[in-house]
Amino acid sequence: MAITFIAAGTAVAGTLTTMDLVAPACAADDILIAQLSSNDNDAVALPSTAWTIINELNNGTGLRSTTAWKRALLADSGATFQFTGLAGTTVNFGVLTVYRGVIPHGPAIGTATSSANASADAVTYATLTPRHNAGVIVACGHYQEDSTTAGALTTFTNVVDVETLTGNDLSLFQYFIQSDGTATGAISHTTTSTVDAVNNGILFDLIPASEPTGGGGPTYARLERGGRRG
């Protein structure tokens, strides 16, 4: 089956030491993506070893981003996940998204790249060569400015475009595209914000689940008790 985007949860923002993010409705073996930003270089700690970091990136003292994944359990649908270790002195912002059709065991992420961009009105993503032809490429943008609207990312579908309240100065963007196994090249999207800001761009591919083979293998005569062929 092809990988599909399922849903994004409600984004949470605040000057927090602990961030509680609620997962959207999901099924067992779906992949949860956690996308978090801090309006400084605050530390972000994951809630448990069930989460795996895809990328952690500081961009000077103006922005820190964390992107992580978790393979969902049945009980994770609508569950709350705590992200602790925040300094509580500057605003933090986070959201969870869900993808389905990803490999149900082992690492879910193929390859990943990141770009820490200087003050600009565009979020740029470094070139990525996906590990799998039939997977999905996900782009996570972290931007240190609020009241922004993400511009189009060529051939990608936008699934997260959220901003904090005025004065908190953080925006989160997320896009995805079906992979054809070739390098994406350097890609970027602009925002409508009139204030340039530092930003981080994270790009990674999700590994697809194996397609069932069904009926293509050799067949053997049934063995009866005693080893005789039926």
pLDDT in tens, 93-144: 999 999 999 999 999 999 999 999 988 888 999 999 998 888 999 999 999 9
Beta bridge partners of 14: 92
Provide the terminal-to-terminal Cα distance of the chain, rounded to the nearest Å. Answer: 36
Give the distance from CA 14 to its chain's centroid.
Answer: 21
Residue holding tokens 């985007």?
A: 5
Give pLDDT, residue 45: 77
Average pLDDT, the chain: 87
User: Domain limits of the chain?
Assistant: 4-206
Do 76 and 26 form a contact (C-beta atoms < 8 A)? yes
Residue the block writes with tokens 């992200």: 83
Instruction: Tell me the pTM.
Output: 0.88
Nearest CA among 101, 191, 209 for reference residue 142? 191
104: alpha, beta or left, given left = phi > 0 and alpha = psi -120 to 50? alpha
pLDDT at 47: 81
Q: What digits encode the pLDDT tens for the residues 144-202?
A: 988 788 888 888 999 999 999 767 789 999 999 999 888 888 888 888 777 888 999 99
Q: In the chain, pLDDT over 70 holds for what percent of residues?
A: 91
Res. 214: pLDDT tops 50: no
What phi and psi values does residue 74 have, to the nearest 5 degrees? Answer: -55, -35
Maximum distance among all alpha carbons in the chain?
A: 81
- Considering the chain, what percentage of its residues have pLDDT values greater than 90? 56
Assign 87 a pLDDT band (cuts: 50, 70, 90).
Answer: confident
